[in-house]
Every structure is written in C-alpha cells, then in structure tokens.
Structure 1
Amino acid sequence: MSQQELTLIVAATRSMGIGANGSMPWQGLRKEMQYFARVTTRLPPQVSQPRQTIKKREKKLRQCWKAAPGSVNAVIMGRKTWDSIPPKFRPLKDRLNIVVTRSAKDSMISPLPPPTLPLTEPLRVSSFERALACADA
C-alpha cells in the first residue's frame, strides 16, 4: 500500500463523547456539516494529475472495487454512523463511501450501477485496514 494522506474529522463532546442513547449528543450543526462537506469533497493539489494518470486510477478502481469513475475522496465510517445519516443524504455525494462493519465479508461488494452513475450504496468492508486499501485503489 502506498503512503496515504488522511484528514480525520471527529465530532465529540468536551468529555470525548460521540453518541448518547443511540444518536448524536447535539443538534443543529449546520456550519459544522458544511465544513465536513467542504473538507471531504475538496481534492488535494496532487490529485490534479495528468489525464493519463487519472484514467489509470479509474481503471484500477473499476477492476478492484468497481467504484464510480473519476478522482474522489473516500469517507470511511462505521456502520452506526452510516445508519445515522438520513436516507435522503446517503450516500454522501461526490465521495466514495466506505463502511466498516463486522457483518461484511472481505469479498463483499454491493451491487453497483454502471460506472457513469454515482454509487447508491457504500462499499462495506470488515476492517479499517481493508477500508484504507479500498481508498488507496
């Protein structure tokens, strides 16, 4: 696996809580959600590669994970976080959604639409390491 640059975004209370009674411990974080969308859809400068390199990456993604074409950021989340996203906002658009869940088999890949359409389901993997490998494809 090549060296990857990661940007981590965590929403936590002052006491490091990330949930309360099956939901988030706060409401109405419009500005924070806009920040999250901006950061996770912004491509780093090195992604502005020659078209040939992007085409090779698209081909590798389609062969390995059958993902949508083009350079996109991956958003890796747990299954409960995925479930907490309102269905009308799933999957997070313009990003490769990867869900880490115990119920995934390493070879399990959601049925995917033709490469010209966005993914309607996340890629489900059984470990964070597998998620990183998928994001690196």
Structure 2
Amino acid sequence: MAQTPTFDKSASPRTAWLGWVYFAGIMMITVGFFQAIAGLVALFDDGYYLVGQSGLVVSVDYTAWGFVHLILGAVAFGAGFAVMTGKTWGRTVGIILAVASAVVNMAFIAAYPLWATLIIAMDVIIIYALAVHGREAAE
C-alpha cells in the first residue's frame, strides 16, 4: 500500500522569485569579478583611463582606486556564494556591498563612464533581489 506524502503546512512555499535571489548571487560574483578587473587595471596601468586624477570626483591616485575596487570585488565575490547558499549574513553583506559598489562607481564614473554605469545598474538589481526576495533562499 502506497503512503500518502505529508506536507509541512508551516513551511512557506518557494516561489519563482527564488530565481531572483540566485540571480543576485550570480550577479554579485560577476560584479566582484568586474570590480577586480577594474582594480587590477587601475593598479597596473594608470594611463588606461582618459581622465586624470584631478578629474575624478574624489581626487586620489589610481593605485588607491585600484585597491578599493579590488577589495570590493573580492568581498562581493565571496558574498555572492553565501547568498546562493541561503546565508542571511550573505544577503546583508550583499546589500551593503552593492550600495558601496554603486557609490564607489558613481565617484569613478568620470574615468570610465560606460563600465561604471553598467556596474551601478547591476548593483541596483542586486539590491532589489536581495532586499525583496532574499528571505526565500534561507527557507
């Protein structure tokens, strides 16, 4: 005789929005990778960017910008994996990093407008997905 499956009615059902959370995790990994590339370019080739240091919103040399982008990228890369495994701290760190990344890229926009705008757009999507639907991954 086959047994009827029992369902836990207290558990909330997963919705299709869970895909947004996984998408945000993948985007965080991608943004982390992009940030690291921008950081490495700033560290190894100061002449790559068309705007001089005085043309940036925050007037610091590209070595400092390189380290900022590199550190943001490494932490975002790691937090992206935490988001995909449903860790609450990953969501929190992810939202904070996405906001920090958007602010840093807004200040860096004069040096590389298209790249910075692309990263800011990705950050907004990450913030939305994690803030609105992030709880579903933990369940």
TM-score by length of 2: 0.30
| Structure with higher strand content | 1
Higher relative contact order (CA 8 A, sep 6+): 2
| Structure with higher helix content | 2
TM-score by length of 1: 0.30
Name which one, 1 or 2, has greater alpha-carbon Rg.
Answer: 2
